[in-house]
Structure 1
């Protein structure tokens, strides 16, 4: 039977993704040949201590659980907006860990990012160098100079969804959201360099993002089978085109309340907040309305309070220095 919710927010890994129901008819994909989902250990960066800790300690709200499942069931990207430090990028790691989706593919967006960067990188200079030394080998081995990017890798025909983080999409050039529309809608793309060589080499073994593993690409065309779990994060610094928003499930994260902050502190330190930590939580919440603050600022202050022998007055001064407002519009009220 289908399972709802597939993602529970429990942080306990399970195989519920195998019980995800079939996609809506208008979001069905049939890419081939099927590729197995890599193990988490296949990408050392994905299991680095900081990312592993964030994934294991993430605390999802009920709204987050509902909308993550909506994105999974509908095979739609999840656009996550909200103030800095509310866990936008940590969410994808938590979902990938619980559902065993393998290493998270990450595409960090800058003002210079293009769709091509996310799909694949081709190095014509290395091919030119190879052609000077072995012309025949260089012509037959275009794939040796090409590597799929994070988006291109996520859209391979995996048996189960891969997890992809497109981080800070609002930093992109104005054209990138529109450029993403067709690829995310169709779940496929072409690699012109391989299409042109398909008559001689119908199947090319290309490298993928994150590892030196190679996968087959037939006639230069990639089409997904299980639509990836795509999380796009935004700090709300710009508006997106209606056509882009229509194709996304949108989740707006808000600053956590007292109970949520206590649960976050408990998860990170593996114990209940003590009296001083609780007082820092209260002070943090009292200042949130005056400007942007990030949860990790609070965690830093609590960690130093636990790890030092400073007196209460000195700790208060240090906490104030560790928790400045993140925007110029924020006030500078003291604790």
Structure 2
């Protein structure tokens, strides 16, 4: 099974090579890149392309590695024992299977997404080393060992909010998703908006990349945000001429889809002011 671009996802050649290399090596694929470059969507498209079910584990700052294996509800068992519930004799009634357990016991190969691993505590990746390496873990409450029936395709995403441990990195195949250039971005847009007129697309993307290249911008607009912006342009039936910016109005039309904080809005307003001042 080989991964390639799908009807709804454009995968650059280097990304497709990375996915297939990780599958061949049977190692987790660690994908980094700025937010909005399609890291999470990549896992969904790999599952779709290869016809595999997908299990998604969304990581938060409070997530613990143990939760990916299982959680033992000792409080409920104690309460039930006080109430004389016969279920307390079987401890398995109080064990909640985590995402890794679900992936390991699946009857067919699955894609397991561990999304935004860098949100968790720094020890989180280290706490999963043995489980991801050996594809098994021990359940102390029942004495059983859970082994993967089929080694899952594991895709791990990171927004680079914190450094990951070297020991964890050694066990992964790494790929950084570079921001698409103009040609690749056109392909991505054409997948989502096949009827978009070429002049409007060229004008919009030229303006989008000019905005991204503006010095002092705190948050550069991403791929997902330019798609939202184009959807609004189509909904408002704007023409290429409507997108024109001048010194009096440096902000792009419907800029709320592209600029996501007041500092960046103020930056473009300041640029407009300086431009007007320079033309006096």
TM-score greater than 0.5 by the shorter chain: yes
The answer as to whether partners of 1:305 and 1:315 remain within 8 angstroms in 2 is no
The answer as to whether partners of 2:137 and 2:147 remain within 8 angstroms in 1 is yes
Check if 1:111 corresponds to 2:61.
Answer: yes
Name the residue aligned to 1:262.
186
- Inter-partner Cα distance in structure 2 for 1:252 and 1:108: 20
The answer as to whether partners of 1:168 and 1:232 remain within 8 angstroms in 2 is yes
Aligned equivalent of 1:79, options 27, 30, 42: 30
The answer as to whether partners of 1:325 and 1:332 remain within 8 angstroms in 2 is no
Check if 1:148 corresponds to 2:97.
Answer: yes
**Shift of residue 149 of structure 1?**
1.2
**Shift of residue 76 of structure 1?**
0.4
Distance 1:72 1:329, change over 3 A: farther
What runs of 5+ residues in structure 2 fail to find an aligned partner? 246-251, 273-280
Distance 1:106 1:8, change over 3 A: closer
What runs of 5+ residues in structure 1 fail to find an aligned partner? 1-5, 12-55, 196-219
Name the residue aligned to 2:49.
98
Give the greater-gyration-radius structure (CA).
Answer: 2
**Shift of residue 327 of structure 1?**
11
- Inter-partner Cα distance in structure 1 for 2:264 and 2:140: 48
The answer as to whether partners of 1:165 and 1:230 remain within 8 angstroms in 2 is yes
The answer as to whether partners of 1:101 and 1:162 remain within 8 angstroms in 2 is yes
Distance 1:288 1:325, change over 3 A: farther
**Shift of residue 319 of structure 1?**
3.5
Check if 1:177 corresponds to 2:125.
Answer: yes
The answer as to whether partners of 2:40 and 2:115 remain within 8 angstroms in 1 is yes
The answer as to whether partners of 2:30 and 2:173 remain within 8 angstroms in 1 is yes
The answer as to whether partners of 1:262 and 1:272 remain within 8 angstroms in 2 is no
Distance 1:68 1:328, change over 3 A: farther
Aligned equivalent of 2:221, options 293, 301, 323: 293
- Inter-partner Cα distance in structure 2 for 1:89 and 1:72: 17
- Inter-partner Cα distance in structure 2 for 1:330 and 1:151: 43
Q: What secondary structure sits across from 1:318 in the alignment?
A: coil
Name the residue aligned to 1:321.
256
Q: What secondary structure sits across from 1:57 in the alignment?
A: coil
